[in-house]
Structure 1
Amino acid sequence: MRYRIIAFVAFVALLLDQGTKALVLQQLPLDAGIPVTSFFSLVHVQNHGAAFGFLNDPGTTWQFWLFTLATLAAIVVVVVMARSAKEHERMLFVAFGAIVGGALGNFIDRVRFRAVVDFLDFYWAGWHWPAFNVADVFICFGAVLLVLHSFCAPNTPKEGSRT
């Protein structure tokens, strides 16, 4: 059951991410933007770095390999952690699925474009958050769920220990 939950959430994340990016690619020229509210715009930018523009330098290629390895490592870590988790820890499996789906969504962009398509742009009173995408939202959501799980999971004694 654990892998079904992870696969389902990852599939939904991947579908939403790639679907929204396809709309952006189809409707907005690169570096264009459409104001939606006084604090939010839809934009079309390409990020050659990591989340929120970290290491965004289109003139270098080593980031592609670094982020490719990081994606593969994250998926391996998720599989190992899922194998050792208890079957009833569904919040954990949803978190894993969100992280894997988001990571795969950005990975697909890196393979296709050597950059990630970002399009959600928030700003307010001179403060501007770097543009991001649906994959980033799922990765952050999964990370928050992992933190919540670590606080909510019952503390069970380890085998052989006395409480």
Structure 2
Amino acid sequence: MKLKYIILAAVSALVLVLDQVSKVYIDKTMTLHSSFSVIEGLFNITYLRNKGAAFGILASSAYRLPFFLLVSTVAVVVILIAVSKLRDDQKLNVASLSLIFSGALGNMIDRVRLGEVIDFLDVHWKGHHWPAFNIADSAICVGVFILAIDMLLEERREKQKTPPAN
């Protein structure tokens, strides 16, 4: 088996297990909307449910569930195709796509199982709260960030390979 598929499976399994176990734990041990401070004035664990996307977008739409399931399914398929086309030396791209893949899958599992997503990571500063999120959301954001950085570095590497024109 190619290393890129081992990376995809390992990263995805790790993120999915952490995401789903943390959500089940929050659901079983906390009541909805309850909260406790982890780092005073900066970080709480707050049990919320989100029917929409980031910032609650589309939360009240009648078509939200089919829409999100379709988007997640398309993302998962596109990522699998992208990984299959990557070169063996593009391990960082594989890892970043694996993070995005597992994040999309983690939230899709919630939508199928619950019709909404469990969020619980609550970052705030001086009364201003970032919308609550979860491990799957974090994996997607970190994966996109790493992918963007790697693409910029790849562009730089390609420019260094190409000799200057006379």
- Establish whether TM, by shorter chain, passes 0.5: yes
Contact 2:32-2:48 within 8 A present in 1 as well: yes
Which moves more between the two structures, 25-34 or 112-121? 25-34
Aligned to 1:108: 109
Q: How does 1:122-141 map to 2 (within 5 A)?
A: 122-141=123-142
Whether 1:72 and 2:73 are equivalent positions in the alignment is yes
Aligned to 2:9: 7
Aligned to 1:21: 23
- Could you list the runs of 4 or more consecutive aligned residues of structure 1 that deviate by over 4 angstroms after TM superposition? none
Whether 1:46 and 2:54 are equivalent positions in the alignment is no
Letter in 2 for 1:128: H
Aligned to 1:160: none
Gaps of 5+ in 1: 157-162
SS at match of 2:158: coil
Residue 43 of structure 1 and its aligned partner are, at CA, apart by 0.9
CA distance in 1 between counterparts of 2:55 and 2:144 reads: 16
Q: What RMSD in Å do the two structures reach over aligned CA positions? A: 1.8
CA distance in 1 between counterparts of 2:30 and 2:87 reads: 45
CA distance in 2 between counterparts of 1:148 and 1:10 reads: 20
Contact 1:52-1:132 within 8 A present in 2 as well: no
CA distance in 2 between counterparts of 1:126 and 1:38 reads: 8
CA distance in 2 between counterparts of 1:61 and 1:2 reads: 39
SS at match of 1:44: strand
Quick one: percent identity of the two aligned structures?
35
Contact 1:13-1:101 within 8 A present in 2 as well: yes
CA distance in 2 between counterparts of 1:112 and 1:76 reads: 20
1:23-67 Cα distance to aligned partner (Å, 9 max, x none) = 10111111111122222211111100112322223xx43111111
Whether 1:62 and 2:68 are equivalent positions in the alignment is no
Gaps of 5+ in 2: 160-164
Contact 2:41-2:126 within 8 A present in 1 as well: no
Letter in 1 for 2:143: G
CA distance in 2 between counterparts of 1:118 and 1:86 reads: 35
Letter in 1 for 2:37: P
Aligned to 2:88: 87
TM-score, normalised with respect to structure 1: 0.90
TM-score, normalised with respect to structure 2: 0.88
CA distance in 2 between counterparts of 1:124 and 1:9 reads: 31
Contact 2:76-2:105 within 8 A present in 1 as well: no
